[in-house]
């Protein structure tokens, strides 16, 4: 760990980089990661979610309206 910290300090001093704040590129990468996760989760849960929505649809269509007084 010490060598990694030393190398990072050396590189920052050498390139004179300021690491405060996040750039637009970092925000785009985070958003891309979240979107990819959601797409993967949707494909992985497709069968489960499809079965649940079909069960709800069948239950709603089987319920009849109450009689009018």
Asked if residue 67 belongs to a domain, the reply is: no
Angle between helices 46-62 and 24-44 in degrees, nearest 10:
60
Rounded to whole angstroms, how far apart are CA atoms 29 and 9?
Answer: 24
pLDDT beyond 80 at 20: no
pLDDT beyond 70 at 21: no
pTM: 0.45
> pLDDT per residue over 22-66, tens digit each?
788 888 999 999 999 999 988 888 878 888 888 889 998 888 878
Asked if residue 58 belongs to a domain, the reply is: no
Rounded to whole angstroms, how far apart are CA atoms 17 and 7?
Answer: 14
Give residue 33's pLDDT.
95
Rounded to whole angstroms, how far apart are CA atoms 66 and 69?
Answer: 9
Report how many domains make up the chain: 1
Asked if residue 37 belongs to a domain, the reply is: yes
């Amino acid at each position: 760990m010490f060598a990694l910290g030393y190398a990072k300090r050396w590189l920052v001093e050498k390139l004179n980089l300021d690491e405060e704040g996040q750039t637009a590129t970092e925000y785009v990468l985070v958003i891309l990661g979240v979107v990819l996760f959601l797409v993967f989760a949707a494909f992985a849960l497709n069968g489960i979610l499809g079965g649940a929505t079909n069960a709800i649809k069948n239950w709603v269509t089987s319920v009849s309206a109450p009689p009018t007084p």
